[in-house]
Amino acid sequence: MERTLAIIKPDAVERGVTGKILAKIEGDGLKIVAIKMLHMSKGEAEGFYMVHAKRPFFESLTIYMSSLPVIVAVLEGEKAIKKWRDLMGATNPKDASAGTIRKEFAIDIERNSVHGSDSPESASYEIPYFFSNIEIFF
Ligand code: IDP
Ligand code: MG
């Protein structure tokens, strides 16, 4: 069993497709073991995306991610990290395969509707960034 962090990003929450995205997660055999809505400050978004601090899109990304509330969730399952990344699709919706969430919902490479941890190392940074142990059910 593995755990991964999922975020439904501001563009998707704003357009009211949270329920549709959660249904796809549950329909793919991923179990939601923690979930909440929150509005990140600019500094909290910067801390979350620390690995991208030197990238040219960092300033715009962290302004976007702190612009409106998001849904953060912990997903659990066999190979949950890869399973969720596969369901999300490619970072740029232009490259995303049919049937993926980003193909269906993303607006552009930045406003791409969802986030998922990309490795066990990033999951172990990202999950406790938002959730304490007593908020995760199992
Ligand atoms: P990922 O979300 O598919 O793991 P990352 O490369 O980790 O993609 O980038 C983190 C986030 O930064 C992306 O999901 C997207 O919102 C934004 N982003 C990535 N590359 C670009 C870009 O070239 N321009 C604008 N935003 C970008
Ligand atoms: Mg990433």
pLDDT tens digits, 87-99: 999 999 999 999 9
User: Which helix (H) or strand (E) element contains residue 81?
Assistant: helix 80-88
Q: Is 29 exposed, middle or buried (0-12, 13-18, 19+ CB in 10 A)?
A: exposed
For atom 18 of ligand 1, which residue has the closest CA? 110
Average pLDDT, the chain: 98
* Global model pTM greater than 0.95: yes
R_g over Cα of the chain? 14
DSSP state of 135: G
- Substitution site in 109, 111, 121, 125 for ligand 1 pocket (most atoms within 8 Å of beta carbon): 109
Tell me how many degrees the CA angle 86-105-93 measures, rounded to the nearest 5. 60
Q: What is the pLDDT along the chain (138 residues), one digit of tens a residue?
A: 999 999 999 999 999 999 999 999 999 999 999 999 999 999 999 999 999 999 999 999 999 999 999 999 999 999 999 999 999 999 999 999 999 999 999 999 999 999 999 999 999 999 999 999 999 997
Cβ of 118 less than 6 Å from ligand 1 = yes
pLDDT digits (tens, 9 = 90+) for 21-48: 999 999 999 999 999 999 999 999 999 9
How far the first Cα of the chain sits from its last, in Å, is: 11
Cβ–Cβ under 8 Å, residues 84 and 6: yes
